[in-house]
Amino acid sequence: MFKIKRKLPLKQASPFFLTWITMLMTFVAALTLFASMSLNNIISHWNNVVSGSLTIQQPTYDLNGLNRQDEALKELDVLQEFLKNQSFVESVHILNDDEMEKLMSPWLENLKVLNELPIPKLIDVTLKKNASFSLDSFKTDVNALAPYAQVDSHRIWLSHLIDLSSGIQKTIFIIILLLALTTAFTVIYTTRSSLLVQENTLELLQLMGAKDWSIAFGVASNSFTRGLCGAAIGLILSLPIVGVVITLVGSTPDSLFLQGALSTKQWSVIIALPLIVAALSFITALITGIRKLRTF
Amino acid sequence: MQPLFDSLPVVDFHRVFLKYDNGHSVLKNIQFSLEKGSFHFVTGASGAGKTSLLKLMYLAVHPTSGRLQIFGKDLSQVSASKLPDFRRRIGVVFQDFRLLDTLNTFDNVALPLRIIGMGEKEIKRRVGELLSWVGLENCMNEYPQALSGGEKQRIAIARAVINKPDLLLADEPTGNVDDAMAARILHLFLELNRLGTTLVIATHNQSLVRQFNKPQLHLSQGTLEIIQPMMTIEEENV
């Protein structure tokens, strides 16, 4: 089988076409995968954070603007006790003044006015992993203890952003699918062209008793080699761009996008792209070859 | 006891018709059998259907109708995946040689052996031996473009016989060689025939037919007539 491949002119009709196409496809696929996986990590992180925590606002002024600080602080203690006793709550933390200042600092030039503003007390509630509870009944319980308290699940704030990110992710998935299909069609085209150009040779091999699958294997091996070479070059070319993106993101002081850093497994997928592309080329060429040879 | 398949004809045509896609009827009601170890010439004018008859025998085309048996098997009952096993037992010398331009002499001749997966050491021995025999031991590394018509023909013959086929089909095998080489080639064929290879040679060369005095499958306008060899005086007396 390998001898046949080595000794016979079973080559692509357009030898460099497949190499160029797979190089281009892998280049784009590597960047797209990198972006997709990073985005996926960011979304997953957001999802974890959002679904794993709650914030309860305890206003120190009532709806008419009257100060009810003492009452509010008492309710805050009651709420804290209540929350600590809930089975789905991991931890409860009431934000102190320093933390409130830090939280508000991006929006307030003069932090001294903080005490004059009707800013509510905030309770940061961390939920247990895979916590299961009814948010509505939880809100009812909280309001029974503190009528002015407001429970924020955060999800509402971020849901639009998450929807947008999910949309981008779906688009990226479609792009990768299109890239894979384009590669497959390119392989089909080059394999068919190759077989047609070598029709006389292939017919001769068939007449000498060569089996269709072994001829197709020879053609597919060529596709594999060319696909692997092209994809490897494409991957190598994409790495500097990925490196620049990582450097730029890493240089930002408090970047939300740092959460998008790829895991070893995800890097393995990107590094394995040339093999995946080569395997796709091999399988496509093998199937196309066998089907085409049967028509000779 | 002889195995059963030895008694079966190597080739058996039963009311075979062949019509190409353009509607041209090439062979009509062909009926004959070739026993193992037999030697036949295929004769007839150009366009009579000699090459088409050989094509049917080397399984390049299928009969339009009728039954064709090769090595005792009805080909209509043989699956496409099994055809290579039959083809490996058939050696063919094509009229236009059909050498691969991208391979040198050695690799062209070695091709059938590589297809069956023979080891390189044995291939080297066999090919070297045969190329020496046909006088091309000095052209092993030459490519077909650099060779004369006669040399190409000898390579085509070497390639056809290298695997010691059970059935050897040759289309004008001596058309491009001188008389001395033609005689050598035919004696190689006779030697193979003596060892049990069934031989079918399509030729225009009547002197060759007379010289070897073998039965003829004579084609005329697509129909076949079997002409038995002329008996020698001794045979007549017997």
Least confident of A98-107, A151-160, B55-64, B69-78: A151-160
A208 → closest Cβ in B80, B111, B117: B111
Amino acid found at A5: K
Q: What is the complex's ipTM, to 2 decimals?
A: 0.85
User: For A94-117, what is the mean pLDDT?
Assistant: 78
Note the pLDDT of residue B217. Answer: 95
pLDDT given at position B185: 80
For position A2, what pLDDT does the model report?
43
A88 falls in which pLDDT band (50, 70, 90)?
confident
Residue A211 and residue B92: Cβ atoms within 8 Å? Answer: no
The token pair that represents A118 in the structure block: 């009707």
Select the residue of A204, A211, A212 nearest B98 (Cβ to Cβ): A204
- The answer on pLDDT for A43 being more than 50 is yes
Higher pLDDT, A228 or A130: A228
Cα-based angle B232, B233, B236 (whole degrees, multiple of 5): 85
| Stronger pLDDT, A43 or B69, i.e. the higher one | B69
- Round to whole Å and give the CA distance between A265 and B15: 67
CA angle A281, A282, A287 (to 5 degrees): 100
Model pLDDT, residue B155: 93
Residue A119 pLDDT more than 50?
A: yes
Predicted local distance difference test score (pLDDT) of residue A215: 86
A212 to chain B: closest CA residue: B81
Q: Give the pLDDT confidence score for residue A82 in this predicted structure.
A: 93
CB under 8 Å to B129, separation ≥6 — which residues?
none
Q: What is the mean pLDDT of residues A33-37?
A: 86
**What pLDDT shows up at residue A165?**
75
Do the Cβ atoms of B137 and B177 come closer than 8 Å?
no
Report chain B (238 residues): mean pLDDT per 10 consecutive residues: 62 95 89 94 91 94 94 91 93 92 92 91 94 90 91 92 93 81 82 91 86 90 89 58
Chain A residues whose beta carbon lies within 8 Å of the beta carbon of residue B99: none
Q: How far is CA B10 from CA B50, B94, B163, in A?
A: 18, 20, 17
- For an interface test with B, give the residue of A4, A5, A6, A7 to mutate (most B CBs within 10 A): A7
Q: Is B175 left (phi over 0), alpha (psi -120 to 50) or beta?
A: alpha
User: Helices B179-194 & B149-161, crossing angle to 10 degrees?
Assistant: 0
> Which of A 208-227 lie inside 8 A of B, CB atoms?
208-212
| End-to-end Cα spacing for chain B | 30
Q: Model confidence at A253, in pLDDT bands (50, 70, 90)?
A: low
| Measured distance CA(B152)–CA(B146) in Å, rounded | 10
A201, A208, A212 member nearest B112 (Cβ): A208
Please judge whether A203 and B81 are an interchain contact, meaning their C-beta atoms are less than 8 angstroms apart: no
Q: Provide the pLDDT for residue B232.
A: 60
Residue indicated by tokens 């690799």: B107
Cα distance from A290 to chain B (closest Cα, Å)? 11
**B60 contact A CB<8A:** yes
Q: What pLDDT score was predicted for residue A104? A: 79
The values of phi and psi at residue B141, to 5°, are -100, 5
The Cα–Cα gap between B123 and B109 comes to 9
pLDDT of residue B223: 93
CA angle at A33 for the pair A31 and A36, rounded to the nearest 5°: 110
Bridge partner residues of B135 (DSSP): none
pLDDT at residue B1 in the model:
43
Q: Are B115 and A208 in contact (CB under 8 A)?
A: yes
- Please, which residues have CB within 8 angstroms of residue B78's CB and are 6 or more apart in sequence? B86
Q: Are B87 and A209 an interchain contact pair (Cβ–Cβ within 8 Å)?
A: yes
Please compute Rg for chain B using Cα positions.
Answer: 18
Specify the pairing of strand A53-58 against strand B198-202. unpaired
pLDDT for B43 equals 94
Distance from CA of B73 to the nearest CA of A (A): 17
Does the model's pTM come out above 0.80?
A: no
Tokens of B57: 């025998």
CB pairs < 8 Å spanning A and B: 51
| H or E stretch covering A218 | helix A212-251
| More confident of the two residues A294 and B161 | B161
Q: Which of B107, B110, B115 sits opposite A209 (nearest CB)?
A: B115
Cα separation, B40 vs B92, whole angstroms:
15
In this prediction, residue B4 carries a pLDDT of 45
Three-state secondary structure call for residue B205 = coil
- CA-CA-CA-CA torsion sign (B133, B138, B140, B144): negative
Q: What is the pLDDT of residues A5-32, one digit of tens each?
A: 455 556 555 567 888 888 998 998 899 8
Burial category of A118 from C-beta neighbours within 10 Å (exposed 0-12, middle 13-18, buried 19 and up) = exposed
Alpha helices in A52-154 (DSSP H): 69-84, 97-104, 135-145
What local confidence, expressed as pLDDT, does residue A40 receive?
81
Among B80, B92, B117, the residue with its CB nearest the CB of A207 is B92
The three-class DSSP label of residue A47 is helix
Give yes or no for A53 touching B (CB within 8 A).
no
Which pLDDT belongs to residue A235? 95
Q: What percent of chain A has pLDDT over 70?
A: 88
Best interface-test mutation with B: which of A198, A201, A208, A293 has the largest number of B CBs within 10 A?
Answer: A208
Give the chain A residue nearest B106 (alpha carbons).
A7
